Structure 1
C-alpha cells in the first residue's frame, strides 16, 4: 500500500508554456536551445550559478538583448496553476505523506510565487511534508543521490512510495531505486486522474 507520494512540479501542477518561451527567445534572436545553454541551465538548477551569471550566459548568443529582456523571456515558460489541482492535492494531504521534488531555479520560483500570490502558494506548500528544489539541494533529477537523500532523510520505504514525474528519465531513475512510479503523459493525463490509473498500487 502506498503511504507516501513524491511529486514533480512543472507540468504536474503548474502548466509549462515551453513553446511560448522558445518563441519569445526567437524574437530576441536566439534560434533555440543549444548544448552550452542547456549545460548552464543544469548548473543553475543545481545552484552552481548566480542569477546574473546564468542570465549573462545568454548574452553570448543574443548580445543585443538586455538582462531584463532575457529574464522576462526565461519566465514565459511559467504558465497557470489550475485551482482544481490544488484542491485535489489538499484532499490527498489528509491521507498521504506528500513531498515536492523539482528541478528548478530561483528565477522561476520567484516568478511563480509572484504570479499566484502568497495565499495560493502558502496553501500549496502546506500540503507537503517538505518541498525540495534542486537549486537548494545542489543536485537534480535524475541523479540517484537526490532520490536517496529524501528516502534516507524521511526514512521512506520505497515499496510504499510513489513518484510522479512527466519525464521518463526521472521516473526510470526512481524506479531503479525501488519506488513505484507514474510517468504522467502531459496533455493526455492529469495528476487529478491519479486514482483512475489502475496500474498504480494505491
Structure 2
C-alpha cells in the first residue's frame, strides 16, 4: 500500500491549545466563575453550531457574550477567544520533510475566528499544506463520517492511501472505519516512528 496523502488535525497536533487562556482573559468581564464561563463558551449548542458553520462569528460573539454576561466589547472578546495556541515543534518540524513526497491536508474541528487567527500565527507551517479542511467548511465535525468524506474530496487519492494523525482516539476510530490509516498522536516524540510504521517515508 503506497501512502499518497497525510492528513493532520490542528489542535494538540500541529499546535497546542488551552481554552483556559481565553477564559482567564475574559473572567474580569463577568461575575461568572471560570468554570461557568468555559461551559457557556465551549460546551454549548452555539459553539457546536459555530464550528459547523451554521452561524457566523458575529452571531456567536453576540450569543456567547449574552450567555456568559460578558461586558467586554466584541473586539476584546475575539482577542481573548483566539489567544490560545502555541507551536508543537515536533510536528511543525516534520511537516516540511513530508511535503516533497506527499499531499498534506489539514482536518480541523474549528471555528472561523480560530482558523483566521491560527492561519496567520502559523502561516509558515500551513504554507506546506495543499488544503486546509475545517468543520465550518465541511458543515460537519469529527468524528462524523460526513467530515471524513469532505476531507477525502481534497485528498486526491483513495481512502486506503491516506494516513490521518489526530490526538483523539474517537476521531481515529472514525477515520479507520472510513478507510484511512490512523495514528493517535501523543506528544512524546514518537510521531516519526509511527509514521514510518504506517508506510510514510521521511
What TM bracket, shorter-length normalisation? 0.7 to 0.9
Counterpart contact for 2:105–2:155, Cα < 8 Å: no
5+ long unaligned stretches in structure 1: none
Answer yes or no: is 1:55 the counterpart of 2:47: no
Coordinate RMSD, CA, aligned:
2.6
Equivalent residues, number? 192
Residue from 94, 100, 109 that aligns with 2:115: 109
Aligned counterparts, 1:24-35, within 5 A: 24-29=25-30, 30=32, 31-34=36-39
Q: Which residue of 1 aligns with 2:179?
A: 178
Provide Cα deviations, 1:38-60, integer angstroms capped at 9, x if missing partner. Answer: 32111111211121100011223
Q: Which residue of 2 aligns with 1:20?
A: 21
Q: Which residue of 2 aligns with 1:44?
A: 50
Provide Cα deviations, 1:3-40, integer angstroms capped at 9, x if missing partner. Answer: 32110111111221233223233333343333685321
Answer yes or no: is 1:7 the counterpart of 2:8: yes
Moved over 6 A (4+): none
Counterpart contact for 1:24–1:76, Cα < 8 Å: no
Provide Cα deviations, 1:32-89, integer angstroms capped at 9, x if missing partner. Answer: 3336853211111121112110001122322423322221221122x22256643421
Give the TM-score normalised by the residue count of structure 2.
Answer: 0.80
| 3-state SS in 2 of match to 1:9 | coil
2-structure distance, mates of 1:157, 1:132: 17
5+ long unaligned stretches in structure 2: none
Shift of 1:91: 1.1
Q: Residues 156 and 51 from structure 1, CA distance in 2 versus in 1: closer, same or farther, beyond 3 angstroms?
A: same
Counterpart contact for 1:22–1:32, Cα < 8 Å: yes
